[in-house]
């Protein structure tokens, strides 16, 4: 009788635990395979913006999805940023900005532009959160969203207005260590705003195709990624173009790892690295799941994350790329 009871108890517990496990596992959402943005907040939580399924929150245990069904303005999330209050902001492809305050998602702005990029700036003429998109800039400060249009002086390429820029779209923004703001535009190259005037960088083919990526390395050098004429670097005195790599032309993202190596994600040529002397290319032949890499992100621990166009999320362990499946 004792044996029968023990067997019954074991089977009951096994069935209950198994049912609980599979139920919990089934509730874990499946992430979209088109990753457009990656961000780690101040609490160490990861956020992944997708092309069609909103944004996912991952706290190293649970994956939670936010979409239009629970308040997100749009299911395409191109950029993610955190403000000084710890609130998360999401820039979408349908002309909107959403904010998550830890409790709920709210739509904060609707404009006739795509929110391509956004950054926070602590010490500036306008404090708060900056959203750069379309033909202007959105600034959120003191619970107020303000739109500032860009008007360009055709003679000087600049204006006395602190918000003067190109009439063309802004695709990327960088706030450097010296307090300068850098803008990558759709057709006018890159301009730097120092708080007084704008300096334009258009030479060597930089103007024309959109500048989709801006990055400042540990040396203070500014890197430009162009969607057509490749990789550029401004060292403070001169603009260098790395034109000796014919396949390195259409650049989506740029970042730097802990060793000082520059990583470049491209539209169709995989991932490239530059160690200051030579380039190395990684493609699907080297284990990369896709040659289209939308974003590269370095987290607080120095780990590199790669968001691909149709093959999901990957990490690099120093030797190879591996798929991250949220198990």
Q: Which residue has the tokens 């040659």?
A: 291
- Per the DSSP assignment, residues forming a β-bridge with 38 are 48
pTM of the model: 0.81
Report the alpha-carbon distance of residue 108 to residue 6 in Å, rounded. 59
Burial of 215 by CB count in 10 Å (0-12 exposed, 13-18 middle, 19+ buried)?
A: buried
Strand pairing partners for 136?
Answer: 133, 149
* pLDDT given for residue 126 in this prediction: 36
Determine the pLDDT at residue 54. 95
Q: Which H or E element spans position 133?
A: strand 128-133
Domain boundaries, the chain: 2-323
Q: How many other C-beta atoms can be found within 10 angstroms of the C-beta atom of residue 279?
A: 16
In angstroms, the Cα distances linking 255 to 140, 184, 218, 273 are 26, 16, 11, 10
Q: What is the pLDDT along the chain (327 residues), one digit of tens a residue?
A: 444 434 433 333 333 344 433 333 345 667 888 999 999 999 999 999 999 999 999 999 999 999 999 999 899 998 898 888 899 988 887 667 888 999 999 888 665 444 455 555 443 333 356 665 455 556 666 666 665 554 554 455 444 444 455 455 778 888 899 988 888 888 888 988 787 777 889 988 888 889 999 999 999 999 999 999 999 999 999 999 987 788 899 999 999 999 999 999 999 999 999 999 999 999 999 888 899 999 999 999 999 999 998 899 999 988 889 999 876
Burial of 148 (0-12, 13-18, 19+ CB in 10 A): middle
The pLDDT of residue 194: 80
What's 2-323's CATH class?
mainly beta
Query: What is the predicted pLDDT for the residue at 83?
Result: 82
Instruction: State the Cα–Cα distance between residues 210 and 223, nearest whole angstrom.
Output: 14
Cα separation values, 300 from 35, 43, 45, 274, Å: 20, 10, 10, 21
């Amino acid at each position: 009788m004792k044996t029968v009871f023990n067997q019954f108890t074991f089977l009951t517990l096994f069935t209950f635990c198994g049912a609980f496990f599979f139920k919990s596992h089934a509730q874990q959402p499946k992430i979209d395979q088109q990753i457009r943005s990656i961000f780690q907040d101040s609490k160490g939580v990861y956020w992944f913006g997708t092309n069609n399924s909103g944004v996912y929150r991952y706290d190293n245990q649970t994956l939670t999805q936010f979409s239009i069904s629970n308040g997100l303005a749009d299911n395409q999330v191109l950029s993610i940023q955190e403000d000084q209050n710890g609130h998360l902001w999401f820039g979408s492809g349908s002309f909107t900005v959403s904010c998550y305050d830890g409790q709920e998602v709210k739509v904060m702005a609707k404009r006739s532009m795509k929110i391509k990029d956004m950054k926070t700036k602590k010490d500036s003429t306008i404090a708060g959160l900056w959203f750069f998109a379309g033909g202007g800039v959105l600034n959120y400060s003191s619970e107020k969203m303000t739109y500032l249009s860009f008007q360009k002086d055709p003679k000087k390429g600049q204006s006395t207005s602190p918000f003067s820029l190109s009439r063309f779209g802004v695709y990327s923004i960088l706030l450097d260590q010296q307090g300068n703001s850098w803008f990558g535009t759709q057709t006018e190259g890159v301009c730097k705003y120092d708080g007084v005037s704008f300096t334009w960088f258009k030479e060597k083919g930089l103007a024309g195709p959109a500048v989709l990526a801006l990055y400042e390395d540990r040396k203070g050098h500014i890197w430009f990624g162009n969607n057509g004429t490749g990789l550029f670097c401004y060292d403070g005195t001169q603009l260098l173009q790395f034109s000796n790599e014919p396949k390195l032309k259409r650049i989506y993202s740029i970042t730097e790892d802990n060793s000082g190596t520059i990583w470049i994600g491209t539209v169709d040529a995989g991932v490239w690295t530059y160690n200051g002397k030579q380039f190395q290319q990684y493609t699907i032949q080297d284990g990369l799941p896709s040659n289209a890499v939308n974003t590269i992100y370095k987290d607080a621990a120095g780990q590199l994350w790669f968001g691909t166009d149709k093959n999901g999320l990957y990490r690099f362990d120093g030797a190879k790329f591996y798929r991250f499946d949220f198990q």
